[in-house]
Amino acid sequence: MNAPDDPNAAPELFTWEFAADPYPAYAWLREHAPVHRTKLPSGVEAWLVTRYADARQALADQRLSKNPAHHDEPAHAKGKTGIPGERKAELMTHLLNIDPPDHTRLRRLVSKAFTPRRVAEFGSRVQELTDRLIDDFAAKGSADLIHEFAFPLPIYAICDMLGVPREDQDDFRDWAGMMIRHGGGPRGGVARSVKKMRGYLAELIHRKREALGEGDDDDLISGLIRASDHGEHLTENEAAAMAFILLFAGFETTVNLIGNGVYALLRNPGQRARLQESLAAGERDLLETGLEELLRYDGPVELATWRFATEPLTLGGERIEAGDPVLVVLAAADRDPARFDEPDTLDLARRDNQHLGYGHGIHYCLGAPLARLEGQTALATLLTRLPDLRLAGNPDDLRWRGGLIMRGLRTLPVEFTSYAN
């Protein structure tokens, strides 16, 4: 997409052309209207924050609440803000919708079950899943990396962490697939999937509560049930909402992280070659800095989730009224030339890289360690096992999923030298 010829005219946002390449439009907004009020495709009017300094301030500003009660209630009830169907499914009490002190209490409880140690111990399972998925298509010489790899990997991984039995995980894959397929289309399918997921989680939590102490219960849902803080336990609704948001927020972000990351490497062969040489030498430093750079360069979350002003405030020179929705555009902030040198250049060795891909402040992504583990494992294994991986077809034919918050490809067709396992 090109920015408009008239420098005084704002670019058109949220079109299919914009979805393919939003960065020129975001560059225009950063320069001319860094805090910009616009009407979203849903009809809701919101402020878009595009400069890094303003974005970082907004993400940590406690006057910007995560609780949709501070916005027009009918708008949320109609599914125009937030996750479709979460209200009717009684899944509102999760970390993306609440403020302190409830946020502090619930995050502390969840953190006890979602520790770095648990993630590190999970590394062998992520590697096993990664290898199994590649095994399934290695002999074909071609694959759609979204549907055959980037999508199933985080679904099965987060299901294992939550403690969803293996025989039920394909149901979760179907529900999650509905969420992705309807990213820019009818929201009813998403709401139906949310309702099914809620019913299943309620039943699973009940079964696990009754079975606590009787066997292998070292999973995340069992941990949520056991978690307590000064005598306070999670209610069943809170536990279901927390399990739901960890699944919902934990799978599509990783789908997009892997898909966008592989696509960026395929479009930047010099950087990809550097990474492959580093991996062949048994080094991990470039893999680690490289994943952070891919998050900055074309990350999985385009806009941070909804915030609502609880009182009038000034942001980027604009007056935000109480009740106004504010959306921080992470994709724009992470390419701000005032913060990053040559921001439109992919540099896997970039060191000064305090990107906002995982957020900032008290809502910093709880699942960041798992996303890093999955992303690094997926990229390293793909580039090692399929060294001549290449895009199949014309990049202009690729389509990005519609939607407001996430940024990801619908498909990513690739070719490579086939081999038998």
User: Tens digits of per-residue pLDDT, 319-349?
Assistant: 999 999 999 999 999 999 999 999 999 999 9
Does the pLDDT at position 126 exceed 60? Answer: yes
C-alpha distances in angstroms, 97 versus 17, 111, 177, 285, 371?
31, 17, 23, 36, 21
Q: Across residues 243-269, what is the average pLDDT?
A: 89
DSSP state of 305: P
Distance CA 253, CA 158 (A): 12
pLDDT recorded at residue 98: 66
Does the pLDDT at position 171 exceed 90? Answer: no
**φ, ψ for residue 48 (rounded to 5)?**
-105, 125
pLDDT recorded at residue 83: 53
pLDDT recorded at residue 369: 86
Q: Please, which pLDDT band fits residue 80 given cuts at 50, 70 and 90?
A: low
Highest mean pLDDT among 186-195, 361-370, 383-392: 383-392
Question: How many Cβ atoms sit within 10 Å of the Cβ of residue 183?
Answer: 18
Q: Please, which pLDDT band fits residue 184 given cuts at 50, 70 and 90?
A: very low
Sheet holding 325-328, edge to edge: 35-39, 45-49, 325-328, 307-309, 64-65
pLDDT recorded at residue 185: 43
Angle value at C-alpha 342, between 337 and 345, nearest 5 degrees:
125
**Which of 6-10, 47-51, 190-194, 363-367 is predicted least confidently?**
6-10
Q: Look at residue 154 and give its three-state secondary structure.
A: helix
Kindly write down the DSSP assignment for every residue of 386-412, as one continuous string.
STT-EE-S-GGG--BPP-SSB--BS--
Stated pTM of the model: 0.89
The whole-chain average pLDDT of the chain stands at 85
| One-letter identity of residue 334 | D
Distance CA 387, CA 285 (A): 19
Angle value at C-alpha 245, between 167 and 88, nearest 5 degrees:
95
Kindly write down the DSSP assignment for every residue of 223-257, as one continuous string.
HHHH-EETTEE--HHHHHHHHHHHHHHHHHHHHHH
pLDDT recorded at residue 318: 97
Distance CA 194, CA 91 (A): 9
- Say what percent of the chain tops pLDDT 70: 85
Q: Please, which pLDDT band fits residue 237 given cuts at 50, 70 and 90?
A: confident
Residues 39, 10 contacting (CB under 8 angstroms): no
Does the pLDDT at position 311 exceed 60? Answer: yes
Residues 194, 86 contacting (CB under 8 angstroms): yes
C-alpha distances in angstroms, 273 versus 342, 350, 383?
20, 16, 9
| One-letter identity of residue 172 | F
pLDDT recorded at residue 343: 98
Q: Each residue of 109-121: b (16+ CB within 10 Å) or e?
A: bbeebbeeebbee
Q: What would the pLDDT profile of 11-46 be if each residue is shown by its tens digit?
A: 999 998 999 999 999 999 999 999 999 999 888 899
Residues 190, 84 contacting (CB under 8 angstroms): yes
Cis previous bond, 101, omega within 30: yes
Q: Look at residue 201 and give its three-state secondary structure.
A: helix
Kindly give the residue spans of alpha helices, DSSP state H, lying in 114-168: 116-121, 123-138, 145, 152-162
Q: Each residue of 289-327: b (16+ CB within 10 Å) or e?
A: bbbbbbbbbbbbbbbbbbbbbbeebebbebebeeebbbb
User: Looking at per-residue confidence, does 238 or 171 come out higher?
Assistant: 171
User: Looking at per-residue confidence, does 334 or 157 come out higher?
Assistant: 334
Burial class (CB in 10 A: 0-12, 13-18, 19+), 252: buried
Among candidates 356, 398, 320, 307, which has minimal Cα distance to 69?
307
User: Looking at per-residue confidence, does 29 or 198 come out higher?
Assistant: 29
Does the pLDDT at position 421 exceed 70? Answer: no
Q: Across residues 385-391, what is the average pLDDT?
A: 97
Does the pLDDT at position 87 exceed 60? Answer: no
Distance CA 335, CA 344 (A): 6
Does the pLDDT at position 116 exceed 90? Answer: no
pLDDT recorded at residue 196: 83
Q: Across residues 363-369, what is the average pLDDT?
A: 81
Distance CA 302, CA 220 (A): 28
User: Looking at per-residue confidence, does 359 or 182 come out higher?
Assistant: 359
277: left (phi over 0), alpha (psi -120 to 50) or beta: alpha
